[in-house]
Every structure is written in C-alpha cells, then in structure tokens.
Chains A and B, each alone.
Chain A
Amino acid sequence: MNKAILIGMTGLALGLTACGKKQPPIDTAPPITDPSAGGDTGIPADDAVDLVELPGMQADLVAKAGSDTVYFGTDEYALDDASRATLAAQARWMLANPSVRASIEGHADERGTREYNLALGERRANSAKAFLVANGVPETRLTVISWGKERPVAMGSDESAWAQNRRAVTVVVR
C-alpha cells in the first residue's frame, strides 16, 4: 500500500517536470503469456531516444533476406507460410548483424476505423516480432510500433491496394 502510494507520488512529480528529461519507464506491460515473446519488454526504454531509419542497412536487409515486409489477410494478424519464410530470412540477417536494432511496424488498410486500426497494426507487428524472437533474435533488439492506416503504400480503394497495405515492415533503426 505505501509502496504504491510512493510510486504514484513519484510518478506525479516526474509528470510535472519538463519533457526531455530522462525518466524511468513506467512498467505497465501486462503479464506475458506468450512463451515465444520472451520475458522482457523490448528495447530499453529511454524516451529521449528517437527511432531513426538507416537506409543503407535497410537496403542490405532487403537484398539479403529478400523482403522487409510480410502481408496479412483482412482483419487478420496470423502469419502464413510466405511470411514465415521471409521472417526466418530476416532473423538470419539480424543474427549476422548483431549490432543492428529494428522497429517492427504494423499497418492496416483503410477499411477500418482510426483507433481500431492502430490496435490491429500492433497485433500484426507483434506477430512478426514474436516470430523473429522465436528464431533467435534477442527481444532487446526489437521494438514494435503501429501506423494503423496512416502510411499506405498503395493508393487505390480496391482489393489489390488493400492487400498491399496490410503488412508488417521490419525497419532497421539506429
């Protein structure tokens, strides 16, 4: 009881300080029940550190693994055989480049509402991340974000475009 109050008060004090100062992360992750997801919460949290793309390394990933993207069915987040093969190749690349970190980024097509699509994108990214971890990539090198329906790659409002937009992209970051 006292500890909880102390944490709350500390959090309050931290909340009132200016943005940009280093603050300890709040551990709000629910209990991990998926054994393949590992026991940690991902990249060590430091909210002063932005995720920055590395185009050169990204090109190498695509060249060596074949693709940085896997695709999903409508309203689905399960991996199919093609996705698993792609991710296995990505995992090998990441193990061959041990200093590299990646942001696994999930996307949804335009046929869902804004906030639900943010959640769906996170499910897709998490599926991909879990597979990478199961294939030996340390979870501390991976983070998950969702772009919802905000970053389509295909412009159309048709099945072909939607299929291209339902994806998870492994983005190499500094």
Chain B
Amino acid sequence: MKKPLLFALLLTSAFPAMAQDDPPPLEVDVVGGITAPMAIAVPAMPVAPGAGDSLGHQIAEVIASDLRSTGLFTPLGPRGIGGYSFAQASSPIYAEWRNAGASALVSGYVEPRADGRITVGCYLFDIAAGRELARQGFAVAPSNWRSAAHKCADTIYSRLSGEQPFLDTRIVYVAETGPKTNRQKRIAIMDSDGSNHRYLTEGKATVLTPRFSPRGDKLVYMSYQGRRPRVYVMDVATGAERLLVPGTAFTFAPRFSPSGDRIVFSMANGGNTDIYVVGSSGGTPQRLTAAPGADTSPSFSPDGRRIVFESDRSGSQQLYTMNADGSGQRRITFGGGAYASPVWGPRGDLIAFTRIGGGAFRIGVMSPSGGGERLLTNAWQDEGPSWAPNGQFVMFHRTARGSGQASLYAVSVNGGTARRMPTPLGGSDPSWSPLNR
C-alpha cells in the first residue's frame, strides 16, 4: 500500500523520474501542415592558423543558407552573432544559446592537415536538452570547402528531420536569355545553392532537357546542332559529347535507367512518336511502344523494372506505366485533366507530373497507380518536374505569361510555397543530381 504512494510522490517531487525531466527529442516536422521553422544558431567556426581565416564564416554562411532552403529552419547568424573558441566547438555554453533564442546549434572548426587538405568539424547540439546530437568531420581540399559545408548541413538536416540528405547536390538545367522569339539556350551546371555555376554548351545550338546519369558523371540531353534534333550523351568532367543513336532519326526526351546501363527516349517518324530504349554506350534501340499517338517523357521506376510515360493515344495526354520491356502498358490517370512529363520519385512511391487544365500547367504528385493526386503549385505554367535524391523536394521551371521568361523553382513534396532557385539568367528543364560522392 505504501509503496505505490511513495512511487507517486516520487513522480511529482522535485527530483522527478527521468521520463518527466527530459525535453522531447529535438526534431523538425516534415509532414504537412504549417510548422514554425526551428531556430538554429550557425555562428562562424573558429579557424586554426594556416587554414584560411575567412573560411569559418564562409562555411557557416553556406550551412545557414542550405538549412534555410529546406524550409524547416530559421538560421541565426553567422552575421550578427558571436563566435566561439575551438574548445567550445565541442562543448558549447548552452545558456548563451538559449538566451539567443536558439533551439539548436551548429558548431565546428577548420584546421589544416598534414596532407595539405583541411578538416572541417561539424557538431549539432540540442540547446534545450543541453546535449550533442551529431558530429562529423570532413577532409577536403581547401578549394573544396563548400563540399564540406554542404555535407555538414546535410548531417544537421538528416539528424533533425529523419530524412535522407539532399543538400550536397548539383543542378543541371537550360540557361535562357533573350526574348521569346530569339531565345538562346545553353546547358549549365551549378551547386544546389547556385554556386560554382558554369556553362557546358556554347549556345549556338538550342538544347533541351538535360538529365543526370545515376552517378552524376554524365548527362543525356537533346541538341539541335546541325539543325538535326537528336539525343546526345556528355561526360560532365570533360565536356566530351557523343551522339546516342547514329543517323538522322529525330530523337528526344531521354532519361537514364537507375543503373545507368540504358537510356530510354522518344523517336518521332512519319507523324508518330514512340518510346525506345538503348544501351547507354550505344547499340540497336529496342522499340517499347507502337501505338498511334505521341508517346513521350518516359521515366524509369527506381528499381528499373517499370517505366511511366505520357501518351495521347486516348485522345488527350494521359499517364501510362509499363514494364521495362514495353509489356503491360496501362493508363493510370483518370482524374479529369490532361497529364504530362511524369517522373518516378526516388523512393518509388510517388510520380511527379505536370497537370494541364484550365489554361494552366501545375506540378503535382500521385501514386504509381494513379491515386492520391496532390497538386503542389498554382501558377500559369509550371512544368518539367525533377526530384531531389531524397524524394522530399521537386524542382521545376515556371514560365511567366507574356514575356515567356522561365525560372527554376523548388517545392516541398509536403506542400508550401515554391522557392526560386538562384540562377544568373533564366532557366528551364532542371535535373537534380544524386548526392555528390
């Protein structure tokens, strides 16, 4: 009799049991709804002599920018907040950060290594609970400090959201300049925060729809060089390009298979467009569809066994799935609109698409069976979705009515306002790389 009472007293005493005392685990809610972003302090990191004085601030800036881009965080600093010592990198003064209004803290350090590289330390602290949540160290060439910053941001993001990383990635897209009637297009590549931007084609020939290989080392795209629109493969590091299908057949809409061994694409001839697949090193294309109609925009499922595509064989553009050998073609959209540019998500559970209706194009997602359709955007013309490698974000381009100027945007698959991507000029046809190695 007495024991339960004592137990109850203990629960309410000044020395409560552990279950009552621990604050709830620090995490950001990625699933739906409007959640207040988490305030996370990102002060400039201390830098050891010989490692580059400004790096500590630059790295913190990149981390803060990356975390803000997820929509889940309100970074504090590095501007306007104080720094800390090397010792405090791994042992922060929690009370100071609590006073600053931060729920979490990203700290670290930069120091030179004997092999000429630098080590970037990365720590995540739960300020309320007063404990470390994660630590990582990255060894990079000094000129590659951005890579370490993105990887640190990914560590923070993953630990707090429970999602796979996606910040240490690149974007390839078509950079656009000029009026609608004289538009110059070039393939461009950049880090996902807009840094390290460079052009991969000169702009003499119109180029469309560049897409990364699964390892991020090649691109497949369509180019009008020689006034003959055809699919090419380019090595990203060297810029060397190769025609995929020898001859003058009109090929377009290419994508790599998830293993990188095949490229699926459209070929048009005699007023009919069908889907073909070919070895990515070359070979004889194998025809997958033969229906009268425009079959295009093919995209492999992440297990490589199925393909989603659009076809107007029914009289309007709709989405279909089929096995990778072309068998088992079946329509999956019956939602009353027209659908285009499907892309199978990396987790296999969603297909992103462009919905056409009411004079507008909108980005949406649905299940591979066609159910659960959700629209993610609402503007005049949003099209051409591409998935982040963790399946949490979709990038696309938005065209302004009238001017026809296009810009890249990214939107969370859980809803919310689309965020404009930083590009020097206009942009369209984005493709999100896998995680950098």
* B-binding residues in A (CB < 8 A): 4, 7-8, 11-12, 14-16, 18-19, 23-26, 28-30, 32, 34, 37, 41-43, 45-47, 49-53, 77, 103, 110-116, 118-120, 122-123, 126-127, 130, 143-148, 150-157, 173
Q: Name the residue among A116, A143, A148 with the largest chain B CB count within 10 angstroms.
A: A116
Distance between Cα atoms of A57 and B44 in the complex (Å): 66
Chain B, residues 151-182, CB within 8 Å of chain A (1/0): the string is: 00000000000000000000000000001110
- Residue among A52, A119, A123, A156 with the highest chain B CB neighbour number at 10 A: A119
B238 at the interface (CB under 8 A from A): no
Known: A51-B227, A118-B229. A25 touches B183 (CB 8 A): no
Closest partner residue, chain A, to B316 (CB atom): A75
Rounded to whole angstroms, the CA-CA distance of A47 and B243 in the bound complex is 9
Q: List residues of B whose CB falls within 8 A of some A CB.
A: 179-181, 183, 185, 206, 208-209, 224-230, 241-250, 252-253, 266-274, 276, 279, 281-285, 287, 290, 294, 296-297, 310, 312, 317, 340-341, 354, 356, 359, 361, 381, 383-384, 399, 401-402, 404, 428-429
Whether B228 pairs with A119 at a CB distance below 8 angstroms is no
- Cβ-defined contact, A115 with B180, below 8 A: no
Query: CA A1 – CA B339 in complex, angstroms?
Result: 39
Residue pairs across A and B with Cβ atoms less than 8 A apart, 5 shown, are A28-B285, A30-B274, A45-B249, A47-B243, A50-B228
Residues of B near A41 (CB, < 8 A) are: 269
17 extra interface residue pairs, beta carbon distance < 8 Å, beyond A14-B246, A115-B310: A23-B246, A23-B247, A29-B270, A30-B287, A34-B270, A45-B247, A45-B248, A52-B227, A113-B340, A116-B310, A116-B340, A122-B269, A145-B227, A150-B183, A150-B208, A155-B181, A157-B402
Q: Which of B242, B271, B279, B361 contacts A113 (CB 8 A)?
A: B361
What residue in chain B is nearest A154 (Cβ atoms)? B181
Is A28 a contact partner of B271 (Cβ separation < 8 A)?
Answer: no
Known contacts being A30-B270, A47-B228, A122-B271, is A115 close to B246, with CB within 8 Å?
A: no
**A8-B284, A115-B209, A146-B229 known; A152 and B271 CB under 8 Å?**
no
Q: Which of A45, A47, A115 contacts B297 (CB 8 A)?
A: A115
**Minimum CB distance partner of A37 in chain B:** B270
Interface residue from B242, B283, B354 paired with A12 (Cβ < 8 Å): B283
Residues on the A chain within 8 Å of B296, using CB: 115-116, 118-119
- Of the candidates A14, A46, A147, A156, the one whose C-beta lies within 8 Å of that of B282 is A14
B238 to chain A, nearest CB (A): 13
- Report, nearest first, the 6 A-B pairs whose CB atoms are least far apart: A15-B282, A25-B247, A50-B226, A119-B294, A51-B227, A126-B271
Contacting residues, chain A, for B381 (C-beta < 8 A): 110
On whether the beta carbons of A150 and B273 are closer than 8 Å, the reply is: no
Q: Are B294 and A145 in contact (CB under 8 A)?
A: no
Report the nearest A residue to B271, measured CB to CB: A126
Contacts of B209 in A (CB 8 A): 114-115
Given contacts A26-B246, A30-B290, A154-B181, contact A116 B282 (CB under 8 A): no
Q: Considering the chains assembled together, what is the distance between the CA atoms of A11 and B247 in angstroms? A: 12
A28 and B287 contacting across the interface, CB-CB below 8 Å: yes
A114, B279: Cβ atoms under 8 Å? no
List of A residues within 8 angstroms of B180 by Cβ: 110, 152, 155
Complexed CA–CA distance, A120 and B272 (Å): 9
Q: Which of chain A's residues has its CB closest to B353's CB?
A: A113
Contacts of B225 in A (CB 8 A): 50
CA A25 to CA B246, docked complex, whole Å: 6
Complex-state Cα separation, A126 to B270, whole angstroms: 6
Tell which of B250, B317, B361, B384 touches A145, judged by Cβ atoms closer than 8 Å.
Answer: B250
Q: Which residue of A lies closest to B282 (CB)?
A: A15
Residue in A77, A113, A145, A157 whose Cβ sees the most chain B Cβ within 10 Å: A113
- On chain B, the residues within 8 Å of A16 by CB distance are 281-282
A173–B227 Cα gap in the complex (Å)?
10
A49 to B242, CA, bound (A): 16
The residue in chain B whose Cβ has the minimal distance to the Cβ of A122 is B268
Asked if B272 contacts A30 (CB within 8 A), the reply is yes
Query: Would you call A43 and B208 a contact (CB within 8 A)?
Result: no
Across the interface, do B249 and A15 meet the contact criterion of CB distance under 8 Å? no
Alpha-carbon separation in the docked complex, A28 to B277 (Å): 12
Q: CA A143 – CA B250 in complex, angstroms?
A: 10
CB-based contact A7/B284 at 8 Å: yes
- A30 x B282 contact (CB < 8 A): no
Nearest chain B CB to A42's CB is how many angstroms away? 8
Given contacts A25-B246, A145-B250, contact A15 B279 (CB under 8 A): yes
A23 vs B266: C-alpha distance when bound (angstroms): 21
**What's the Cα separation between A114 and B185 when bound, in Å?**
14
B241 contacts which chain A residues (CB < 8 A)?
19
Identify the interface centre among B229, B401, B428: most chain A CB within 10 Å of its CB: B229
> Which of the residues B228, B230, B271, B383 comes within 8 Å of A123, measured between beta carbons?
B271
With beta carbons under 8 angstroms apart, the residue of B226, B245, B273, B310 that contacts A51 is B226
Give A115 to B341 CA distance when docked, in angstroms.
Answer: 8
Counting chain A CB atoms within 10 Å of each CB, the highest count among B230, B250, B312 belongs to: B250
- Looking at the assembled complex, report how far the CB atom of A58 sits from the nearest CB atom of chain B, in whole angstroms: 14
CB distance from A126 to the nearest CB of B (A): 4
**How many Å lie between the Cα of A23 and that of B252 in the bound state?**
20
